[in-house]
Structure 1
Amino acid sequence: MIKQILLAFLGSIFPVILFNIDRKKIIWAGFCGAIGWAAYLAVYKYTYSPVSSSFVGAFFVGIYSELMARILKTPAVQFSIPGIFPLVPGITAYTTINSIVEQKYSLASSEGMQTIAVGGAIAFGIMLSTTAFRFISKLAKQKLK
């Protein structure tokens, strides 16, 4: 489990370098991916569902990204995009395409649906966390006035 989280950390660092994000934020973006993957593993251990696990992982990535954006005064996208890289269902997308090529259409259908569901869960997790964070921040600012 620690090995997987370390690899998720590294898997989030390399997109930062690729997208030429400020070098001072490399470590923080790595933590984003590690936190998202740790949340994924924790939920997957109990549910065995890649869709719900990806949703929770993406939700944690979104919350962490919004927090770090406020702390480091930078756009949250600089953390959320590298942070979701470990969650992206690459092997299921590959299996889908490979099954189509090999004319195994029932396997391609099931793997394709899982790929789409995980992708949607990631998008929904990021969207929900960002919306919730901004809503709570707005309420807190109104309460201070």
Structure 2
Amino acid sequence: MLLHVMGAFFSVVAFSFLLHVPRKYIVWAGFTGAVGWWLYLFLLKLDFSMAMATFLSGCLISLCGQLFARILKTPVTIFVITGILPLVPGAGMFRIARSVIRSDGMTSYNITQTLIVAGMIALSIMVVDSIFRLFLKNKGDYHVDRR
């Protein structure tokens, strides 16, 4: 499992270079992706469903991104977009294309699984962002016009 987590760290670091993340934040982005991937693998070993493991690890990635953004005073997207990379269902997309070509009857199952994973990623980011907005709206992070 350690090898998988290290692989996730280095893949996020490499992806950060492609997205032109400032160099001083690349290690933090890699840490965010590695921690999220570790939680995903850990939850799968505990027999969580793939959807729940994706949702909870996406929440952790989003939480780390929110915290790092506030600590390092930088946009959240630097950490969340790069950190979510290990969870992106690229293998699911491959399985969809392969099952369409083979006509093996698994196409609808593969589409469903891939959409569930993608939806859980989006939902986890939205939930954590909404919680942060809810609790930080009185701190001056979000301007409210009170006329």
Using structure 1 for the length normalisation, give the TM-score. 0.91
RMSD between aligned residues: 1.4
Letter in 2 for 1:119: A
Match of 2:144 in 1: none
Name the one with the larger helix percent: 1
Match of 1:31 in 2: 31
Sequence identity percentage: 36
1:8-19 equivalent positions in 2, closer than 5 A: 8-19=8-19
Which deviates more, 13-22 or 41-50? 41-50
Match of 1:132 in 2: 131
Residue 135 (structure 1) shift:
1.6
Cα distance in 2, alignment partners of residues 48 and 98 from structure 1:
26
Listed as ranges, the gaps of 5+ residues in structure 2 are 141-147
Letter in 2 for 1:22: P
Letter in 2 for 1:133: F
Match of 1:109 in 2: 108
Q: Which runs of 4+ in 1 moved over 3 A?
A: none
Listed as ranges, the gaps of 5+ residues in structure 1 are none
Residue 48 (structure 1) shift:
4.1
Match of 1:68 in 2: 68
Letter in 2 for 1:113: T
Residue 36 (structure 1) shift:
0.7
Using structure 2 for the length normalisation, give the TM-score. 0.90
Instruction: Give the secondary-structure state (helix, strand or coil) at the position aligned to 1:47.
Output: coil
